[in-house]
Structure 1
Amino acid sequence: MTTTHALTPGQFDTAAVDVDAYLDRVGLSRRPPSAAALHELTAAHVRTFPFENLDVLLGRRPDLELSAIADKLLRRGRGGYCYEHVLLFAAVLERLGYRTWRVLSRRKPQGSGYRTHACVIVDVEGVEYLADAGFGLGMPNPMRLTEGVRVDQSGKPHRMMLHDGAWTLEQHGPQGWIPLHAFDLEPAWPSDFELANHFISSHPRSPFVGRVMVFRTEAEQVRSLLGHTFTTEYPDGHTEERTVSTAEMPELLGSLGIALDEEESAGILRALAG
């Protein structure tokens, strides 16, 4: 299914990212657009850049200007949440020649959840894919937009389902298939990102406000820090969990690939102590 919704060039700033610096950071070289190269790029992005909400915890609204995102992820050794990942990843893909657009997805597709998750749709070799590089739990493999297609993501089966014109990403677990988020193919505009970013970084009902949220997806494991709970999940389903003290946080965050300066480390400790 090929959509006609893709935005015309220029709606999003893509010139502010240094593509060669990005490729160097993720350990890849330039390749012509292809399904295989898209899979390689998505996996490299997810396994290089952690998902994290520390700016929100520090009382900052993440800056969605591409130059600020590139500085944060490529030069300062930080991660980000879905908007930052998606805007950076989509810009790189477009600069590499992919036909790409951004969509906002509803995180509670069976209820009244807001459209606050961002993801990328990519049309390559005549096939559309969900490239969910900003999904916190880790989606290293693009999902072909085909009804019922199943793909393993970090040891967990996922599938795409189409309900009433909306695609739903589902994950299989002990309770069966659970919907993660749902979206249509209507492209999001920069103003849509601004509004969603305002809500998710400041609203009291936002899950990103008031606690640490970090995910680090690697080939052999997924490590997560939610509040004071640190969990390591392995592809065979084995899970290890422990409670982390506030004093341990800066060192643990560093081990998850997040470089904090002294001011940021102190701010995290103050926020958690308060």
Structure 2
Amino acid sequence: MNADRYLDRLGLARADVAPPDHEALRTLQAAHVRTVPFENIAITGDPEGNGAEGVTLDRRYVVDVGVAVPTIRQPLPLDGTLREDEAGVAWRVVESDRPDADYCAQFRNPGGDWQNRYVFRDRPVTLDFFRASCEFLAAAPESPFTSDPFATIATPSGHRKLEPGTLTVIENGETRERPVDPREWHDVLEREFGISLSV
């Protein structure tokens, strides 16, 4: 990975993420989720690697930019400390009650109840550990990634989502939808998400 190209894509300089501390990590994660869309379009094209990464700074965090709405916009401490993001979504990591997991990342939308996002173990694994799940997500008819194409991206106070026929914009809790004609879908994908496909 070319760090300078990555930072340039995010609109950051090395000075924006130095020294390597919690604030730098928060800046990097926030820039990533606002710049790099989460989408399933790559399933039929050139797949990218993605995974949750453990980082140790002043305490232990989970940093995951590879989930859709709601998007994890900042590092989440493993000690259960509550974090609220700019979109009003609260996040926390709690101990899991499942025998196959150590922790559970949870979120709560404004006025809602806590919901589990995913569970994970606090131990290193090889990429082979993810092979079966990746194959299922990329190929199974039941997978949410093999049906209609979609793209989502975080905005400062919400997100945008493009699906066949609809562009949804949520800002400050207000939802706006507009129809998207199939002939303009690729243009909207490029304009709103920065994804250009050759058609």
Asked if 1:46 corresponds to 2:33, the answer is yes
Structure 1: state its 5+ residue gaps. 1-16, 65-83, 87-117, 267-274
| 1:204 alignment partner in structure 2 | 141
Q: Which amino acid in the other structure matches residue 24 of structure 2?
A: A
| 2:91 alignment partner in structure 1 | 158
Q: Is the Cα–Cα contact under 8 Å of residues 167 and 184 in structure 1 kept in the other structure?
A: yes
Cα deviation, 1:129-152, whole Å, max 9, x if unaligned, reads: 111111112222111111252332
| 1:167 alignment partner in structure 2 | 103
Q: Is the Cα–Cα contact under 8 Å of residues 77 and 92 in structure 2 kept in the other structure?
A: no
Q: Cα distance, 1:252 vs. partner?
A: 1.1
Q: Is the Cα–Cα contact under 8 Å of residues 73 and 85 in structure 2 kept in the other structure?
A: no
Q: Cα distance, 1:166 vs. partner?
A: 2.5
Q: Would you identify which runs of 4 or more consecutive aligned residues in structure 1 move more than 6 Å?
A: none
Structure 2: state its 5+ residue gaps. none
Distance 1:258 1:170, change over 3 A: same
* Distance across 2 between alignment mates of 1:193 and 1:231: 31
The normalised TM-score by structure 2 is 0.85
* Distance across 2 between alignment mates of 1:146 and 1:229: 39
Q: Which amino acid in the other structure matches residue 214 of structure 1?
A: A
| 1:5 alignment partner in structure 2 | none
Secondary structure of the residue aligned to 2:119 is strand
Q: Cα distance, 1:153 vs. partner?
A: 5.3
* Distance across 2 between alignment mates of 1:145 and 1:206: 29
Q: Is the Cα–Cα contact under 8 Å of residues 139 and 154 in structure 1 kept in the other structure?
A: no
Distance 1:188 1:256, change over 3 A: farther
* Distance across 1 between alignment mates of 2:112 and 2:197: 42
Percent sequence identity is: 28
Q: Is the Cα–Cα contact under 8 Å of residues 130 and 143 in structure 1 kept in the other structure?
A: yes
Q: Cα distance, 1:119 vs. partner?
A: 1.5
Asked if 1:195 corresponds to 2:132, the answer is yes
Secondary structure of the residue aligned to 1:181 is strand
| 1:257 alignment partner in structure 2 | 193
Match 1:239 to one of 170, 175, 194: 175
The normalised TM-score by structure 1 is 0.63
Q: Is the Cα–Cα contact under 8 Å of residues 90 and 107 in structure 2 kept in the other structure?
A: yes
Q: Cα distance, 1:227 vs. partner?
A: 4.0
140-149 or 188-197, which moves further after superposition? 188-197
Q: Cα distance, 1:192 vs. partner?
A: 2.5
Asked if 1:142 corresponds to 2:75, the answer is yes
| 2:4 alignment partner in structure 1 | 20
Q: Which amino acid in the other structure matches residue 22 of structure 1?
A: Y
CA RMSD of aligned residues (A): 2.1
